[in-house]
Amino acid sequence: MTLDPTEPVIRIHGLTKAFGEREVLRGVDLDVRPAENVVVLGRSGSGKSVLIKILIGLLKPDQGETIVLGHNVHRLRTRALNALRRRVGFSFQNSALYDSMNVKQNLEFPLLMNTKGLQAGEVRDRVHDALEQVGLAHALLQMPSELSGGQRKRIGIARTLILRPEIVLYDEPTAGLDPVTSAEINELINQVQHKYHSASIIITHDLTCARTTGDRVAMLIDGTMLRIGSFDEVFATDDPRVAGFYKYNFMQPPEQQ
């Protein structure tokens, strides 16, 4: 399917999702344009991760539409959904590396399972490229248990990139990392956007990450997108829910910086 380059690659409309009595998403709307990084900010448990899990078809919404690369995700049959998933990368909060495989095998696995007739040399080159991109070419034969938190995140992102996705979904990419490693991950997210021209949704509650990586920021509060715009636009408000979020990230309001 050929896509109009001006059309959003992700279109979320009226998305609702509840777990039992607890309504997590209440009519979420969001568009993501090609090669755009959109950061979804929100408190822990606000439904940010649920949102991207719905986008990739891991969860089903109660209502609403999610159109990804022109496909309504929840109307797709398994084969079509898998074809779509090959075009969308997902970087997990805890990296979700396969701990029975070394770094090389972790990267080769999705490639070999999804690409038939790939020559050994090509597999090697693509693994090497992905590792170079995240600056961990030397870690090829290490096991996930031997890697630091930041390295695991990088390998997780490399595994996401191995299938050369058009969209990358990052779930809390800087959670649990020190400020220096977080800054490196933020830089990596920007590099991925520039090199692969991929669109991204970055789920985070880290304002530094939001400011560094986001072309636009969407504030998810009480199950709805309260504010969408540039970082400064989103926080230029007296709404105590937004201001409070800012305050407790230990930063000064934008106008004071």
Partner 1 sequence: MPPKPRRRTVVIARGVDSFFTGVYDGARFFGSFLLEAVRPPFHLREIIRQCYEVGVRSIPLITLTGFITGIVFTKQSRPSLAAFGATSWLPSLITVALLRSLAPLITALICAGKVGSSIGAELGSMKVTEQIEAMEVSAINPFKYLVVTRTIATTFMVPSLMIYCCFVGMTGSYLNVHGNEATSLAAFLKSGFSTITYLDVASSVSKSFVFGLTIGIIACYKGYNATSGTEGVGRAANASVVLAMFIVFIEEILIVQIVHWLRT
| CA distances (Å), origin 141, targets 85, 107, 123, 131, 138 | 27, 11, 15, 12, 8
Pairing of strands 22-32, 37-41: unpaired
**Helix or strand or coil: residue 20?**
coil
In the bound complex, what is the minimum distance in angstroms from residue 88's beta carbon to partner 1? Answer: 8
Residues that bind partner 1 in the complex, under the rule CB under 8 A: 53, 56, 58, 82-83, 85-86, 88, 90, 92-94, 96-100, 109-110, 113-114, 159, 163
Closest contact distance (angstroms) between CB of 95 and partner 1 is 9
Least Å from the CB of residue 162 to partner 1: 9
Residue number with CB closer to partner 1 (3 or 112): 112
CA distances from 127 to 38, 88, 100 (A): 27, 18, 18
**Is 27 or 110 the residue whose CB approaches partner 1 more closely?**
110
Residue 215: both structure tokens together:
């072309």
Our CB check for partner 1 shows the closer of 99 and 125 to be 99
Distance CA 203, CA 174 (A): 10
CB of 189 to partner 1, least distance (A): 18
User: Which residue, 116 or 194, has its beta carbon nearer to partner 1?
Assistant: 116
Q: Tell me the closest approach of the beta carbon of residue 4 to partner 1, in angstroms.
A: 25
Closer to partner 1 by Cβ: residue 17 or 85: 85
Q: Is residue 199 a contact partner of residue 167, using CB atoms and an 8 Å limit? A: yes
